[in-house]
Amino acid sequence: MRHKTLFFSLLALSIGSAAPTFAYAQKAKTVRSVSSNSPIPLDPAIKVGKLANGFQYFILRNSEPKERVLFYLANKVGSLQENEKQQGLAHFLEHMNFNGTTHFPKNALVDYLQKSGIRFGADLNAYTGFEETVYQLPLPTTDPALLRQGILIMRDWANGALLEDDEIDQERGVILEEKRQRGGLSHRLQEKTFPLLTNQSRYAYRMPIGTDEVLNNFKHEEIRKFHKDWYRPELQALIVVGDIDVDAIEKEIIAQFSGLKNPKNAPQSKSYPIALTGKNQFLAFTDPEVTQSSLQILHKQEARKTRQLGDYKNSLAKDFFVQLCNMRLAEQTRKSTTPFLAASLSNGALVGNIETNGIQIMPKPDSLQSSINAVYYTLGQVATHGFTEAELERLKSDYRSMLVQSLKEYDKTDSKSFMDQILAHYLKGEPAPSFQFLQPILLNALEEIRMADILTYVKEFKGHQNRDMVLVYNDDIKSVPSESILSGWINAASKQQVSAYQEEKVEDQLLPALPQPGQIINEEEDKQVGTQTLLLSNGAKVILKPTTLKNDEILLTSYSPGGYSQYSLKDFQSATNAVNIVTNSGLGPFNSLQLSHYLNGKNATASPFINEIGEGIKAQSNREDVQTAFELVYGYFTVPRLDKDINKTNLEKTKLSLKNRQQQASTFFTDSIAAALYNNDPRKTAPTLKKIEEIDFDRSFEIYKDRFADASDFTFVIVGNFDRAFIDPYIKQYLATLPNIKRKESFVDNGTYPPQDGIHRAIHKGKEEKSTVAMAYLGTYDDYSEYNNLLMDALSSSLTIKLTERLREKEGGIYSISVSPSLSKNPRKRFGMNISFTTAPGQVDKLVAAAIEEIELIRKNGPSQEDIDKYIAEKLLSSSQQVQYNGFWLSYLLSSSVDQLDPARIFNEKEQIKSITPGKVKELAQKYLKPNHLFQFTLYPEQ
């Protein structure tokens, strides 16, 4: 299960809840009648109740996605409530709630839900934090019996854990392996920094994963005591959001949870605030796997709570300060003379009662002091001269556009968004107003914000108390500075003389004069699928699917065969980097910074791509800005540009990032696998300094223009809320006028594939006492078809179930396992069945042998009918959901056209799914999971 620790999270304004739309003039009138000192009301659509035993519930009806509901059981107990003998037991108890409850003994709970189509891990999940434990269960609402069982499951999680001796002991190994799996550079860094950042508070010594000593040795009664003490109704709430009957759900909750009792003489729940000592602290950290030096300067303060309406304006002003500073800092990275690779400001929660105002700097080699000077010069420039009105108005315009667009789509908001908001309201006391109420408040705050409001926050990033500095370094820093030296650099940098920021002027038009519109010369309609296929006068094909799946969303994608497979090895690096080089350069008259300014306040994006076998452009917009989206598409065909200066700067950054790439064990491992599989072929192996040197900007630009020189073999797909009268003029003007040289192309098969027989190799890197095993069955896939792909997916699902049962539940040797098929049709029919897990080095041989044994059993006997039924249930559930999203139709219709498949086949998918049998999966397993097709790579620590 997930383990959640709040670390450095950026400030996010809460803007969630379901509500109908109404005119902005009406909203503005409402705002003027509300005082900024008024409390923030809870969304009235949320039904709130509290039982006599203290158990609370929150219920909200929301129909996106349709026929689905989310249940969350929130417990106000986490690792902070553990005593010395219980470290890790809050998280351990979370695991145990999946290993036997009153109505679902042993593994019956997971088994039952899998048969209902709910995936363990992906859907069914839980997490433990310092102050909370939360269980998550999504269900379909079409089966009333399953819905009632869902509430029963929540009731069992609240108070029904069996906590049997053998199950407790079996789970010890699983949790220790979960702890091992998390180990690595970030974990080692956190172990050093977290006590410092939390001022040696209780948080530093109650990491939810616990200690090896406790996990290995705690008495069974200890976890039962923790469960009895802390899993009690006065500390619990059930949150239900989805396509449901609210009154019926409420009755069921009252019936199931009213009987829960609070234990007598239960310990009181305590808070453990972190004291601000006023002291400054410093830590220098290095490690063999550190690839990039960095400095983090954190100014700690009491967290500000959003309680009153006026707090939104303050939060927004501070967020604007951070964003505007970051835009200035990001702009500097366009210059080769800038001493840092990246620098940014942040504001967000740490843990408990503390938030941080942070400055993060990634210096170029041996440039730490000059990087500090550059960052504090920017802060000094802002403090002295402020931001320009143009900078502020651009940011306001973007935010205003986001608020307006969000309200348009509000009745399409996913239930998960509401769930997260209500959960934060219950656990943290955060506001959960309706968006109908909140949107005009935020719009009003937006208009009221002045430059002075924003600049008040400069001082919070330049304080000299409660400041922590963490320097992470490698050999890029020749002389590691002490705290006093760093403080001296910062003090000196803060006193620099600064000049006002000068902003360059921007053109106001993206495209030159446009040609006369082209024509639609033929069209066909597919009434069953709801599409129209148009042939344009320049030879391009356009597939249209109008939908109401979103209120104001229009998506576009396109494809033409060819890709970078067309180019020789000499041009390969230039070809694969062509899109990045062009998009880094901007478009038409704008460099990339100017283009972002031009697009401020517009809800429109477009991005070209070139992959191995084709190229195209993707775009999206709302109705108001659809012309801008089409302009961008037209522009990426006709007016790309090359900015060598910005690309030289980016290339230098890339070279620096590659310098220490292979110091990290995981990177070294994946790079070694690629080198072995593809015999060091430059097309398939990791980036290197030598490869970067082969990039020729002019050649990249030529290749890009060549890929988009001809629209006659392009297929465009447009999906969203539009009609023909609205969309046709844009198609004629911007798509039908694209260049046409009547070129017919295909991709080239360059023949870079793994060998026919498997490879077994041990790779040694890193100091962590853990091993990663990567196994894969690879080979040609002569039977490629959509149905066989379903069978491969079913085989993957069956393997996941059996390998989890064996390696986790029986052997206790892993926390999780990944099993995933990789299937390709072009440029050659290929398959892969990829299996990976992490374990102790001494466990590798035993677990690999066990995995192969289970795979061979499936090859010999086929999967069980029960496991296939679980797959069918899950697939039917996901199949019914996918058609509710524009993004699905976009990719589905494009692939159908490119592969010349009938798009109406989607309506038969459920019948195909239901026809899957163990025998069919067995036949596929016997053919493709042959022992000589097995490739196995194992990462061990250095000897």
Which residues sit opposite 57 in a β-bridge? Answer: 49, 238
**Lowest mean pLDDT, pick from 22-26, 103-107, 331-335, 374-378:** 22-26
Spatial separation of the C-alpha atoms in residues 287 and 184, rounded to whole Å: 11
E-strand ranges in 141-277 read 236-242
- b/e burial code for range 76-109 (CB count within 10 A of at least 16 → b): bbbbbbbeeebbbbbbbbbbbbbbbbeebeebeb
Average pLDDT over residues 676-695: 95
Q: Say yes or no to pLDDT of 14 above 70.
A: no
- pLDDT confidence of residue 34: 66
Spatial separation of the C-alpha atoms in residues 198 and 706, rounded to whole Å: 56
Confidence tier at 660 by pLDDT (50, 70, 90): confident
Confidence tier at 463 by pLDDT (50, 70, 90): confident
- pLDDT confidence of residue 25: 29
Q: Say yes or no to pLDDT of 31 above 70.
A: no
Q: Say yes or no to pLDDT of 16 above 70.
A: no
Q: Say yes or no to pLDDT of 503 above 90.
A: no
Helix, strand, or coil here: 356? strand
Q: Say yes or no to pLDDT of 4 above 50.
A: no
Question: Do you know the residue count of the chain?
Answer: 943
Quote the percentage of the chain above a pLDDT of 90. 92
221's CB contacts (< 8 A; 6+ apart) are none
Report pLDDT digits (tens) over 368-414: 999 999 999 999 999 999 999 999 999 999 999 999 999 999 999 99
Confidence tier at 94 by pLDDT (50, 70, 90): very high
Helix, strand, or coil here: 523? strand
Question: Which structure tokens are listed for 103?
Answer: 């109505």
Quote the percentage of the chain above a pLDDT of 70. 96
Q: Say yes or no to pLDDT of 19 above 80.
A: no
CA distances (Å), origin 294, targets 471, 486, 942? 6, 13, 26
Q: Say yes or no to pLDDT of 21 above 90.
A: no
640's CB contacts (< 8 A; 6+ apart) are 582, 585, 587, 701, 704, 705, 708
Work out the widest C-alpha separation in the chain, in whole angstroms.
84
DSSP 590: B
Spatial separation of the C-alpha atoms in residues 588 and 608, rounded to whole Å: 14
Confidence tier at 504 by pLDDT (50, 70, 90): confident
E-strand ranges in 580-714 read 604-610, 614-621
DSSP 80: G
Q: Say yes or no to pLDDT of 506 above 80.
A: no
Report pLDDT digits (tens) over 268-300: 999 999 999 999 999 999 999 999 999 999 999
Give the alpha-carbon dihedral of 287, 288, 292, 293, to 10 degrees.
Answer: 40
Question: What's 431-457 look like in SS3?
Answer: CCCCHHHHHHHHHHHHHHCCHHHHHCC
Spatial separation of the C-alpha atoms in residues 659 and 782, rounded to whole Å: 41
Report pLDDT digits (tens) over 875-923: 999 999 999 999 999 999 999 999 999 999 999 999 999 999 999 999 9
Pairing of strands 760-764, 934-940: parallel
Question: Which structure tokens are listed for 566?
Answer: 């067309």
Is the dihedral angle over the CA atoms 240, 241, 247, 248 positive or is it negative? negative
* 133-140, strands of its sheet edge to edge: 2-3, 125-128, 133-140, 68-75, 236-242, 56-61, 47-50
E-strand ranges in 159-205 read none
**pTM, rounded to two decimals:** 0.93
Spatial separation of the C-alpha atoms in residues 791 and 920, rounded to whole Å: 7
Confidence tier at 11 by pLDDT (50, 70, 90): very low
Q: Given the structure tokens 């000499």, which residue do they identify? A: 570
Give the alpha-carbon dihedral of 743, 746, 750, 756, to 10 degrees.
Answer: -170
Report pLDDT digits (tens) over 117-126: 998 877 899 9
Is residue 870 a contact partner of residue 913, using CB atoms and an 8 Å limit?
no
Average pLDDT over residues 413-434: 97
Confidence tier at 476 by pLDDT (50, 70, 90): confident
Spatial separation of the C-alpha atoms in residues 815 and 3, rounded to whole Å: 13
Report pLDDT digits (tens) over 212-254: 999 999 999 999 999 999 999 999 999 999 999 999 999 999 9
Which helix (H) or strand (E) segment holds residue 415: the answer is helix 415-428
- pLDDT confidence of residue 943: 80
Closest by CA position to 226, among listed 106, 133, 137: 133
Spatial separation of the C-alpha atoms in residues 844 and 852, rounded to whole Å: 12
Is residue 735 a contact partner of residue 602, using CB atoms and an 8 Å limit?
no
Average pLDDT of every residue of the chain: 94
Is the dihedral angle over the CA atoms 445, 447, 453, 457 positive or is it negative? positive
